């Protein structure tokens, strides 16, 4: 009912619509309209009520409500219907919440978005900081028919799609991808991606791609242990806030386009897209894998997305995981 009321108000643009007209169109009482309007107001929708003239939608909060996300998307698989979008005010981790849904049979394209995560998880056992209403934290469920060994390509595809999604909104933001899937601005991390799978040795059941972006965090919002290595879009965008709704829609649209492209033409395009935003290849780096640290030049990616590192003496080796430090 709330979504239908919002739709009617949106269609009216800057004009008012009376409670009576809404009630007639939706086949409910005026009291029911009034109650739903109160509930929308308490969720942050700015709705003006004028006696005798009716209601007018003046402002929409920058919260990641399913109706707002769905309205801004023309997706065919990912978040392609309102019922595929789950929104939480708070959850421990959107990847964990989506895992339960996936195990209960949720369809491909289901997404979980949270305004706040209390136990956000990062790669290599690290945590991910997600304070309420400031960043974007969401996870996407996919069920491609694919060998588990090919999943790293999906992570690269995601990094490229998220970068493109951010660039659609902020074309001048100097954002690039550090292998495999960290998005950095001027050397500081602004977005991380955590891909988790459920698979047998050679059969993938599902893939959960979790994306965390520091959007409107101010310097004082970051805990001291990460404020030298992390940044936010706000900080790199002349301290100007960006619509989280707009960014989320743009990223989901890019993800949907890329995934459908993968389904129709295979993974060939992924490395090309990733390389458009690469800030790793051609650089001197160190790669940390478990307790080892290997220095060399990042020269290329293998067809399966592994990093090819050339060491001092000229030997080239492929690495499928690890943490890159750009020198």
**Residue ranges in contact with ligand BTN by CB under 6 A:** 93-95, 117, 120-123, 126, 128, 130, 137-139, 182, 192-194, 210-212
Nearer to ligand BTN, 38 or 127 (CB): 127
* DSSP per-residue letters across 215-284: -S--GGGS-TTTTTTB--HHHHTTT----HHHHHHHHHHHHHHHHHHHHHH-THHHHHHHHHTBSSTTSE
Question: 151-169 and 244-265 helices cross at what angle (nearest 10)?
Answer: 140
CB of 111 to ligand BTN, least distance (A): 11
* Cβ 326 to ligand BTN shortest distance, Å: 15
Terminal CA-to-CA distance of the chain, rounded, Å? 55
Smallest gap from Cβ 134 to ligand BTN, in A, equals 12
CB of 29 to ligand BTN, least distance (A): 41
Torsion of CA 233, 73, 164, 266, to 10 degrees: 150
- Minimum distance between the CB of residue 191 and ligand BTN, rounded to whole angstroms? 8
Q: For residues 82 and 229, which CB has a smaller minimum distance to ligand BTN in the complex?
A: 229
Instruction: Write down the least CB distance from residue 68 to ligand BTN, Å.
Output: 19
* Minimum separation from the CB atom of position 268 to ligand BTN (A): 26
- Whether residue 253 contacts residue 75, with contact meaning beta carbons closer than 8 Å, is answered with yes
Q: Cβ of residue 92: shortest distance to ligand BTN, in angstroms?
A: 8
Residue with nearest beta carbon to ligand BTN: 192
Q: Are 267 and 313 in contact (CB under 8 A)?
A: no
For residues 138 and 179, which CB has a smaller minimum distance to ligand BTN in the complex? Answer: 138
* Lookup: tokens for 38: 């109160």
Compute the least distance from the CB of residue 158 to ligand BTN, in Å.
11
CB nearer to ligand BTN: pick between 19 and 322:
322
> Measured from the CB atom, is 83 or 119 closer to ligand BTN?
119
Hunting for tokens 């989901």 — which residue is that? 252
For ligand BTN, give the closer residue by CB, 111 or 309: 111
Q: Are the CB atoms for 193 and 211 separated by under 8 Å?
A: yes
Closer to ligand BTN by CB, 130 or 216: give it: 130
Distance CA 274, CA 270 (A): 6
Q: Between residues 55 and 128, which has the closer beta carbon with respect to ligand BTN? A: 128
Other CB atoms within 10 Å distance of the CB of residue 52: 6
Task: Give 189 or 260: the residue with its C-beta nearer to ligand BTN.
Answer: 189
Q: Dihedral angle at the C-alpha atoms of 199, 204, 205, 210, nearest 10 degrees?
A: 80
Residue whose entry in the numeric block shows the structure tokens 């940044």 = 231
12: Cβ contacts below 8 Å, ≥ 6 apart: 56, 57
The count of C-alpha atoms lying within 13 angstroms of the C-alpha of 277, restricted to the half-sphere facing its C-beta, is 30
Q: What is each CA distance from 225 to 70, 87, 123, 128, 189, in whole angstroms?
A: 36, 29, 17, 12, 13
């Amino acid at each position: 009912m709330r979504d239908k009321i919002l739709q009617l108000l949106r269609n009216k643009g800057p004009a008012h619509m009376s409670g009576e007209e809404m009630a007639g169109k939706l086949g409910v009482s005026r009291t029911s309209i009034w109650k739903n309007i109160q509930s929308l107001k308490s969720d942050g929708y700015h709705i003006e009520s004028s006696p005798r003239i009716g209601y007018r939608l003046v402002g929409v909060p920058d919260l990641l409500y399913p109706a707002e996300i769905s309205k801004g998307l023309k997706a065919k698989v990912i978040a392609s219907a309102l019922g595929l979008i789950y929104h939480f005010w708070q959850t421990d981790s959107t990847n964990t919440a989506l895992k339960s849904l996936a195990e209960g049979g949720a369809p491909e394209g289901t997404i979980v978005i949270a305004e706040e995560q209390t136990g956000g998880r990062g790669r290599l056992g690290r945590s991910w900081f997600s304070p309420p209403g400031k960043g974007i934290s969401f996870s996407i469920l996919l069920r491609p028919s694919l060998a588990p060994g090919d999943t790293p390509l999906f992570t690269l595809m995601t990094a490229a799609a998220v970068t493109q999604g951010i660039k659609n909104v902020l074309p001048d933001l100097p954002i690039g991808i550090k292998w495999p899937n960290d998005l950095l601005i001027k050397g500081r991390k602004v977005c991380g991606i955590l891909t988790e799978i459920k698979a047998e040795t050679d059969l993938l059941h599902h893939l959960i791609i979790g994306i965390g972006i520091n959007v409107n965090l101010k310097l004082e919002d970051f805990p001291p242990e990460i404020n030298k290595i992390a940044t936010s879009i706000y900080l790199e965008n002349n301290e100007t806030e960006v619509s989280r709704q707009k960014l989320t829609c743009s990223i989901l649209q890019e993800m949907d386009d890329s995934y459908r492209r993968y389904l129709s033409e295979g993974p060939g395009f992924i490395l090309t897209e990733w390389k458009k935003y690469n800030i790793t290849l051609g650089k001197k780096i160190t790669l940390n894998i478990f307790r080892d640290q290997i220095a060399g030049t990042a020269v290329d990616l293998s067809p399966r997305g592994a990093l090819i590192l050339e060491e001092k003496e000229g030997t080239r080796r492929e690495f499928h995981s690890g943490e890159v430090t750009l020198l």
